[in-house]
Amino acid sequence: MVWLAWALATALAWGVGTLASKPATDRFGPQRMFFWAALAEVVTFTVLGLAFPRGPWSWDAATARAVAAAGVFGILGYLFYYEGLALGTVG
């Protein structure tokens, strides 16, 4: 049942982020919005990573590729999202 709490927290956080994205994108444009959102994400991940450290890291080539792919495709998703948001509404 703990997974349900995490899923609800995720939906709430992403929902608030989506609602805040439209007026910000309309005001700043998709490229600037992308930059500031990516910067805010880096700061947030850094603070949370330092505040809540995990056990020792276990890196191998497959894990490194998966982490890199997740980061690249996540960032591309943001870029596509803000470009689309500049043209339409949040649905």
Structure confidence by residue, pLDDT tens digits, 12-64:
998 898 888 999 999 999 999 999 999 999 999 899 988 988 878 788 999 99
Half-sphere exposure of 69 (CA within 13 A, CB side): 6
Q: Percent of the chain at pLDDT above 70?
A: 98
- Rounded Cα–Cα distance for residues 47 and 24 (Å): 24
* Distance (Å, whole) CA 30 – CA 22: 10
* pLDDT over 80 at 91, yes or no: no
pLDDT at 66: 95
For the record, the structure tokens of 1 come out as 């049942």
* pLDDT computed for residue 30 by the predictor: 93
- What is the length of the chain? 91
**pLDDT score, position 33:** 93
Report residue 11 as tokens: 């939906």
